């Protein structure tokens, strides 16, 4: 007797939904029971992509290429035979795009601090599939546990500049699920604010001394020139 098709099952042939850019993938759409022939149609976000006809109950295989982020939307397939004009729809599938991370940027609102001051450091990779894990370093020494960010936001740590040893060069690193793709940031230096303020004070003091000397010399000129002029008369 003619039999309606069972709901098809849509699965990735390669067994994983994690893909990289420009990767070729195959999706299998299969109704295990029903009267053939069967027509399989693949949809992406309700937009028809491709149609395959099968004379029997073998799966319909759809080959795709992930060319952009828009290609990782939800996919579904539809199975139809001559018994029902409505057809049966499958489960939905969503690919996850694995993108290598870009070099993270390490920054802070200030590059100068005083001893006893709190400062912040921010580390952010603008590109790369989430989640991204960040770590912070002082020289080669790790100064924080791994910080996993599920959103495209900077990882932030707070530092207490307790002594002169807390000043110097900092870095951060970023990594995600993309294999062998750890990236290190630029170097960021904290300098002691007092050192610069002392040097500025010294320059200002020398400038004031020089200015006062010039003014004093200018005021003293008449006392030397006028008496010598009268003596010459």
Q: What is the pLDDT of residues 146-181, one digit of tens each?
A: 999 999 999 999 999 999 889 999 999 999 988 788
Highest mean pLDDT among 55-59, 65-69, 94-98, 190-194: 55-59
Q: The domain 9-97: what is its CATH number?
A: 2.60.40.10
Least trusted range by pLDDT, from 6-15, 104-113, 183-192, 202-211: 202-211
User: According to the model, what pLDDT value does residue 164 have?
Assistant: 87
Antiparallel, parallel or unpaired: β 117-124 and 155-161: antiparallel
Within the chain, all domains assigned CATH 2.60.40.10 are found at 9-97, 105-192
Per-residue model confidence (pLDDT) at position 214: 78
Q: CATH assignment of 105-192?
A: 2.60.40.10
Task: Please check the confidence at residue 232 and state whether its pLDDT lies above 50.
Answer: yes
């Amino acid at each position: 007797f003619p039999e309606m098709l069972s709901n098809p099952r849509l699965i990735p042939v390669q067994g994983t939904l994690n893909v990289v850019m420009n990767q070729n993938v195959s999706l299998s759409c299969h109704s295990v029971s029903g009267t053939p022939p069967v027509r399989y149609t693949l949809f992406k976000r309700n937009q028809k992509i491709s149609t395959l006809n099968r004379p029997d109950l073998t799966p319909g295989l759809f080959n795709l290429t992930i060319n952009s982020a828009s290609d990782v939307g939800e996919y579904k397939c539809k199975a139809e035979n001559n018994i029902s004009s409505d057809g049966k729809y499958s489960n939905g599938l969503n690919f996850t795009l694995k993108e290598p991370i870009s070099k993270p940027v390490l920054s802070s609102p200030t590059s100068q601090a005083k001893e006893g001051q709190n400062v912040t450091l921010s580390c952010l990779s603008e590109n790369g599939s989430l989640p991204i894990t960040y770590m912070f370093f002082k020289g080669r020494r790790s100064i924080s546990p791994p910080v996993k960010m599920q959103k495209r936001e900077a990882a932030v740590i707070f530092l207490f500049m307790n002594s002169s040893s807390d000043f110097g060069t900092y870095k951060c690193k970023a990594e995600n699920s993309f294999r062998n793709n750890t990236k290190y940031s630029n170097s960021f230096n904290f300098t002691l604010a007092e050192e610069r303020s002392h040097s500025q004070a010294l320059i200002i003091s020398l400038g004031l001394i020089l200015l006062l000397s010039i003014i004093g010399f200018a005021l003293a000129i008449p006392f030397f020139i006028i008496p010598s002029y009268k003596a010459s008369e």
